[in-house]
Amino acid sequence: MSTKSRRLRKKLYLDEFAILGFEFTCNLNVTEGEFYLLLDELLEFIDKRKLCIAGGDDCKSFNGFICSVHRYGSATNQDRADVELWLKSKEHISNIVVSQLVDANYGV
């Protein structure tokens, strides 16, 4: 635990206020139209879990970072597992790599 005050830790998203998220990368084998349909499905899946995603790429590869929509909320290991399972359930997605949870603000 840091020697900073609770108020400062909260402002800086440190220690108990750290926000955790995870990154994923994968390869795609889809047309442009299929890409947008797949992206819509992914966004709907992420949104239902009260998560948000930042990232992108194209019809050949995709990467993203996922974290909670709540100000001091974090993604969980269950979220990681569910996203990985969802990606693996799609036949046009391959070479899926999902990172461990990391600090969304400081990357550690």
Mode of pairing for the β-strands spanning 61-68 and 102-103: unpaired
Task: Determine the pLDDT at residue 61.
Answer: 92
Task: Determine the pLDDT at residue 59.
Answer: 85
pLDDT tens for the chain, 108 residues long, are: 568 899 999 999 888 899 999 999 999 999 999 999 999 999 999 999 999 999 988 889 999 999 999 988 999 999 999 999 999 999 999 999 999 999 999 987
Task: Determine the pLDDT at residue 13.
Answer: 86
Matching residue, tokens 């600090």? 103
Q: Which domains does the chain have, with CATH numbers?
A: 19-103 (3.30.70.60)
The first and second tokens of residue 103, run together, are: 């600090």
The first and second tokens of residue 57, run together, are: 């790429």
Task: Determine the pLDDT at residue 107.
Answer: 80
Task: Determine the pLDDT at residue 2.
Answer: 65
